[in-house]
Amino acid sequence: MTYILAVPMNAFFDVLEQLYKKVLLGATLENENHDYIFYLNPASLDQDCSTTTSSECPKPHGVQDKHQPSSASLATISVVPVCLQKYSPKCSTREIMLLQLTVIKVMITRILSVETDFRAKEKYRDIIKILLKSSDIDSKLTCMFQNSDKLLSHMAAKCLALLLYFQLREKITFSNSWIAFCQKNLSEYPENEKAVYCLWTLTVIIKEIFKDTCSQKTEILKQFLTPFDTIFEVFYNTLFSQHFESCQDTSKIINSLVCSLELLELLIASRIHLKLYFTCQRILFLKPSRVLNVITWPVQAFVKRKFIIFIKKCLLWKVGEDLFRGSSPALMPPDRHLDIDMLALAEAVLQAVDLGLLRTLSVCGKPPCFGGDEVLPTCERVPGPDHVILRAASLLIIKSLEIKFQSCASANEMKVDLQSFMSELLTFLKPHLQPSLQSHGPCEWISRVFIEQDDDMLEAARASLGIYLKLTRQNKASESSTQEKEMWNHHTHEYGYNPHCIFLFLLKNIGFDSSVLLDFLISSETCFLEYFVRYLKLLQKDWAHFFTICKYFDRTESKDSINICGCVSSLVQDGNSNQTELSPSTALGSPRSAHASVSWASDISSGCLSQPVMSKETHATLQADSPPPRRASRSLVDYDSSDDSEAEGTDQHSANSKQTCLHQEVVTKSQDTVGAGVDKKQLSPEPQSRPLLPKQSNIPFSVDCDRVPDDVSEVGLSYRTLKCFEELQGAIYRLQKKNLFPYNATALLKLLKHIETIYNESTNAL
């Protein structure tokens, strides 16, 4: 009879449990390294643990007369026949292997942690190195991948990923068996079903590289990607070239799509943040149509949702944002190669939209969730469209247009593209927005679509502003007559990208609450600072246009039948022009009454818009019984990223638990600076030189009074906007004076002060 050194299952489990508790605490291990290897070396199973019987007993823990544990404190060693005695279910082979994998995982985590004691860390490091050398652990773990026990399979993949990452950190060469395993399975997809395990393991390794605090991330990732660069391109082409309709088992394809999408996102994130140029990192930009085609497949709605959100994040440079919190792509040096890649993706998106991409999106019916589209019978299903899809599709188009226009020199080409794609987008959105945009104007689409997602709303507003500024620069070189300027003005309103309308709708959504703007400025989760500065610079140059739009917002708020954007689209851009404008009825879907048309024509012909002044009529047009504007019911900066709230579907919840201490302190300190009772002398670095309202106005309160009137509908939008800016200016100034503002806001304060000066000069011109 053959004898080996063996340990009873119960004793083996108890030793592993004690070892686990010590490693979890980061305690130093005192025994010889090989003693621990004896207990950590997992066995490869010939069959599932669930089917193993005592007569088919595996030999996981026997070693042939070497590496015997030297201390009786580790275990009681006895010599028994080959098969271990019958063991209780509590200490089954499955439980022991799971505990082995857990101890290995925790030990590597302790090695990577900066909090682990140096002596303990060195001991753990030596044990793992010996484990890698003394046993073919890579092969043993890969054998567990297809185990029917999903927990065991998952733990094996997780453990293998950490072992591979440990080898990268320690500059230990990968075993040929692991590289060959991945290359074989990825190249043989879809015949070989093990490819998904390779994808998952590769994903975990890259995540570990991103999370590491070492300064050699780029070198480590380069070493890791080199063997897989070519083979991943082969897998990419095969996966996204399948015919979904002809597949019998679609669940396997969906699983592969989801796993590959997560890996693809990490590869692109490393392309942006770590500046590597492997083909596998650029494969989406080189062949974007393959991924976009998945959205048109008759696949489950949640898969389409994941893909469209993924492409949105790529266009916004937000891939991997949860793993790279310390570095913003916007603050990185320009990357010409990345700009070219983004342009290729943007053009592919626009081409897909031109071919009918929006018509394939599932917006109505069951709102899809990432976990499926079924809800428990006891839960209510919220009716309405899938707003996550509406937001993502809207951002795809507006951001793609902005990226494309950055490299376009033809104003006519840009106008044609803008008209075509914005018409497509507005047509797509129209059935899902109630009340429809027809009664409020196309420029309201951003505020309506993104009302529940502030970071996406500001991205859309910024992209829209970028498009407007680009077209404005091109138009200045080509405009030669007043009629062309009028046509240009009409165009901005008809296709929903007039920056003044968009900004006013934003302010109306937050109830002109300066504390919300302050929240945006302080938060690093939105692009509001960049958007706000660019808009204020535009506002300085285009005050007359802004003032005119405010005036007609005031007028039309009391006339439900009048389309705001239809009205302002026919206003005069040139203050010295008295020529007749385009008919307001030409605005997108805006049936106008004869009375309204005559009224507008009368105003224009009488020249009342020839100069930016605040008349008494402007403040008196709002109805006294009209409901007050909706106030901001919560802080709009509630999410770490857009997808945190997208995962919740259309029912958003406020969960502002991750705000930084600085943010909390700033908001707390600023509460007395942004309220209604603010000392005017503290609102700005410089004393006020002019009142905010002309003396001729019949507003029933004194400008010198610090309190905003209870019925804010009695004043015009331009006043309310400037009052909001004034409160914001004062709050920023006081916080900066106390060194509580997170950055130097001197330039921003100057912009706000200049806008206030322009306003006062315009109102004093009466």
- Is residue 400 scored above 80 in pLDDT? yes
pLDDT higher at 481 or 255: 255
Q: At what angle do helices 33-40 and 118-134 cross, to 10 degrees?
A: 60
pLDDT higher at 581 or 319: 319
Averaged over 517-533, what is the pLDDT? 93
Q: b/e per residue, 140-158, with b = 16+ CB within 10 A?
A: bbbebbebebeebbbbbbb
Which stretch of 481-490, 668-677, 696-705 has the lowest confidence by average pLDDT?
A: 696-705
Q: What is the pTM of this model?
A: 0.74
Find all residues with CB under 8 Å of 251, minimum gap 6, and list them: none
Instruction: Give the pLDDT score at 50.
Output: 38
Dump the DSSP string for 137-177: HHHHHHHTTT-S-HHHHHHHHHHHHHHHHHHHHTTPPPPHH
pLDDT band, residue 539 (cuts 50/70/90): very high
Residues 361-376: pLDDT tens digits? 878 756 555 555 565 6
Pick the closest to residue 226 from 182, 287, 286 (CA basis).
182
Q: CA separation (Å) from 274 to 201, 217, 249, 524?
A: 20, 8, 38, 21
Are the CB atoms for 305 and 650 separated by under 8 Å? Answer: no
- Is residue 189 scored above 50 in pLDDT? yes
What tokens does 285 get? 């930009």
Q: How many residues does the chain have?
A: 766
Give a three-class secondary structure readout of 221-279.
HHHHHHHHHHHHHHHHHHHCCCCHHHCCCHHHHHHHHHHHHHHHHHHHHHHHHCCCCCH
Averaged over 126-139, what is the pLDDT? 87
Q: At what angle do helices 229-239 and 250-273 cross, to 10 degrees?
A: 140
pLDDT higher at 98 or 652: 98
Averaged over 233-254, what is the pLDDT? 85
Measured from the Cβ of residue 706, the count of other Cβ atoms closer than 10 Å reads 12
Tell me if the bond preceding 190 is cis, omega within 30° of 0. Answer: yes
pLDDT band, residue 140 (cuts 50/70/90): confident
Instruction: Give the pLDDT score at 57.
Output: 35
Instruction: Give the pLDDT score at 436.
Output: 66
Instruction: Give the pLDDT score at 497.
Output: 92
Under DSSP, is residue 29 helix (H, G, I), strand (E, B) or coil?
coil
pLDDT higher at 764 or 586: 764
Measured from the Cβ of residue 234, the count of other Cβ atoms closer than 10 Å reads 14
Averaged over 427-436, what is the pLDDT? 82
CA 214 to CA 170: how far, in whole Å? 12
pLDDT higher at 447 or 51: 447
- Is residue 102 scored above 90 in pLDDT? yes
- Is residue 701 scored above 60 in pLDDT? no
Residues 558-584: pLDDT tens digits? 664 344 454 444 443 333 333 333 333
Averaged over 610-623, what is the pLDDT? 33
- Cite the DSSP H helix spans in 355-494: 387-406, 411-429, 445-449, 454-478, 482-494
Instruction: Give the pLDDT score at 243.
Output: 79
Q: How confident is the prediction for the chain on average, in pLDDT?
A: 74
pLDDT higher at 386 or 206: 206
Residues 211-221: pLDDT tens digits? 887 778 889 99
Instruction: Give the pLDDT score at 490.
Output: 84
- Is residue 377 scored above 50 in pLDDT? yes
pLDDT band, residue 482 (cuts 50/70/90): confident
CA 72 to CA 70: how far, in whole Å? 7
Pick the closest to residue 385 from 423, 452, 431 (CA basis).
431
- Give, for 6, the enclosing helix (H) or strand (E): strand 3-6
- Is residue 637 scored above 70 in pLDDT? no
- Of the spans 332-341, 705-714, 734-743, which averages the highest pLDDT? 734-743
What tokens does 478 get? 């080509």
pLDDT higher at 73 or 289: 289
Which stretch of 103-112, 330-339, 368-377 has the lowest confidence by average pLDDT?
A: 368-377
Averaged over 344-365, what is the pLDDT? 90
- Is residue 355 scored above 70 in pLDDT? yes
Q: CA separation (Å) from 17 to 88, 96, 98?
A: 16, 9, 11
Under DSSP, is residue 710 helix (H, G, I), strand (E, B) or coil?
coil
pLDDT higher at 1 or 281: 281
pLDDT band, residue 487 (cuts 50/70/90): confident
Q: What are phi and psi of 81, to 5 degrees?
A: -60, 175
Instruction: Give the pLDDT score at 503.
Output: 96
Are the CB atoms for 60 and 91 separated by under 8 Å? Answer: no
- Is residue 685 scored above 50 in pLDDT? no
Task: Report the amino acid identity of residue 331.
Answer: L
CA 558 to CA 103: how far, in whole Å? 70
Averaged over 637-649, what is the pLDDT? 38
pLDDT higher at 438 or 148: 148
